[in-house]
Amino acid sequence: MAGESDWQHALLRDLGTDAPSRPVLEQSAGATGPESAAPAPPPDHEPAAPAAPPVPRQSHSANLPGPVPQSVPAIDPRLLIALGGPQHGDSLTRRAGAGLRRLASSSGQEVAEQTRLAREVQQPVTTGRVIAVTSIRGGVGKSTVSALLGRTFNHYRHDPVLALEADAALGSLPTRLGAEAVRWSCADIAQILTPAMQLTDVTGYLVPVADGGWLLPASHGRVGAPLDMRTYRTVTLALRRYFGVTVVDCESLPGEVARTAMDTAHVRIVVAPMTAEGVHATRQVLDWLAQLPHAALETTVVVLNTQSADASLDPEVAAGHLRLPGVPVVQLPYDRHLAQGGPIHTDRLSRGAREAAVQLAAEAMRRAVSVR
């Protein structure tokens, strides 16, 4: 696997270090770009000091046909204030109960399972892997699942991770990832990218995510031209060179970009809401995937997402309806913090949501490394 490790070390070197920690992942959120990037830190700065934002080596935005986009807030800050403080995903009673159960039970098996899942998530890749998240309906948790996945990959992996929004309908991915502002969109990047660009050039056009990793929004935060299939293909193909894992938050099926993403991704994640009609419709999507020529089901994972505390559908029956041969169904439980909307704070997630995110990342990565 020497080649794989060389590839990843080359990327880390390009970012200014090849230390096995995540050097670029501790920066504050906010839109960047060649014009707004701060100067690079001196080479011998304190090891504990936070890394400065990367500096693109030259401005490539001259390739843009229109004016250079301005930085705009990802969400009106007044709404974030109105949202109140982040609540914990689990209620206090639940947390106390879980604590007592942990004390009473032997945790050896649990630790072994967590270690196994972490190893799966950390598997090296020879070329960048693209994981597309979609659903047959809107509002069922695609952006939430994409944000959870992006954060999980960042937490466990050492290579750069990108969260790409392929939903121009003013999607919520930037907000879910805690981005303060957005600037460059997929369509801009498609015009700017050239094969000669280094990772540091590219990241100058991306939003650094507070917990680590990078975000490329689909739009400038206002209603505009929808993302088209060609732009999507250009951007994902070009960015795969720089990122070990790209998580794509797609529009809903059967949109053109969503179909392209499902067709071209290494792994497909289909989010199903925990409702009878949602599970029924998602089953139709799986049947469609089963007919695609390149065994798409083998690289598909289903997320059964409970968005309401009042959901009454039997989870076992729902999961059984979606469980086709080789297709795992990961259950994402109802989580009060996720229900709140707004930025996801990993430390506020319920235990169930955290475990589901790691399980999903492991299932996705296992499939991602199995395909060319």
Ligand X SMILES: Nc1ncnc2c1ncn2[C@@H]1O[C@H](COP(=O)(O)OP(=O)(O)OP(=O)(O)O)[C@@H](O)[C@H]1O
Considering only CA atoms, which of 352, 260, 362 is closest in space to residue 248? 260
Give the residue among 232, 276, 226, 270 at the shortest CA–CA distance from 252. 270
List the one residue from 139, 224, 254, 326 that touches ligand X (CB under 6 A).
139
Other C-beta atoms within 10 Å of 158: how many?
20
Q: Please, what is the minimum distance in Å from the beta carbon of residue 233 to ligand X? A: 21
With binding defined as CB under 5 A, does residue 175 bind Mg ion?
no
Q: Return the residue of 159, 167, 188, 201 that touches ligand X, per CB under 6 A.
A: 167
Nearer residue to Mg ion within complex by CB, 54 or 213: 213
* Window contacting ligand X (CB under 6 A); options: 9-17, 112-120, 283-291, 330-338: 330-338
* 90 forms part of the interface with ligand X (CB under 6 A): no
Packing angle between helix 108-121 and helix 351-368, nearest 10 degrees?
Answer: 40
Which range of residues in 72-80, 167-175, 178-186, 225-233 is near Mg ion by CB under 5 A?
A: 167-175
CB-based contacts of 69, cutoff 8 Å, min separation 6: 183, 184, 185, 188, 220
Q: How many CA atoms lie within 13 A of 5 on its CB side?
A: 4
Choice from 52, 292, 297, 339 touching ligand X (CB under 6 A) = 339
Quote the least distance from Cβ 18 to Mg ion, whole Å: 35
Rg of the chain in Å (alpha carbons): 20
244 near Mg ion, rule: CB under 5 A: no
Residue 138 interacts, among ligand X, Mg ion, none and using kind-specific CB cut-offs from 5 to 8 Å, with: ligand X
Q: At its nearest, how many Å lie between Mg ion and the CB of residue 133?
A: 9
Q: Hey, is 233 helix, strand or coil?
A: helix
Does residue 342 touch Mg ion according to CB under 5 A?
A: no
Whole-angstrom distance, CA of residue 41 vs CA of residue 14: 15
3-state SS of 325-339 is CCCCEEEECCCHHHH
Q: What is the dihedral sign for C-alpha 137, 143, 148, 153? A: positive
Nearest to ligand X of 146, 200 (CB atom) = 146
6, with CB counted inside 10 A (0-12, 13-18, 19+), is exposed
CB of 272 to ligand X, least distance (A): 11
Among 16, 56, 171, 343, which residue interacts with Mg ion (rule: CB under 5 A)?
171
305 is a contact residue toward Mg ion (CB under 5 A): no
Minimum CB–partner distance for residue 74 and ligand X (Å) = 14
Which partner, ligand X, Mg ion, none, binds residue 252 by CB below 5 to 8 Å per kind? ligand X
Give the CA-trace dihedral at 255, 258, 264, 265, to 10 degrees: -170
Question: Smallest distance from the beta carbon of 285 to ligand X, in angstroms?
Answer: 14
Under the binding rule (CB under 5 A), the answer on residue 150 touching Mg ion is: no
Q: Is 20 in the site for ligand X (CB under 6 A)?
A: no
Q: What residue has token string 């395909």?
A: 371
Report the residue number, 140 or 248, with the smaller CB distance to ligand X. Answer: 140
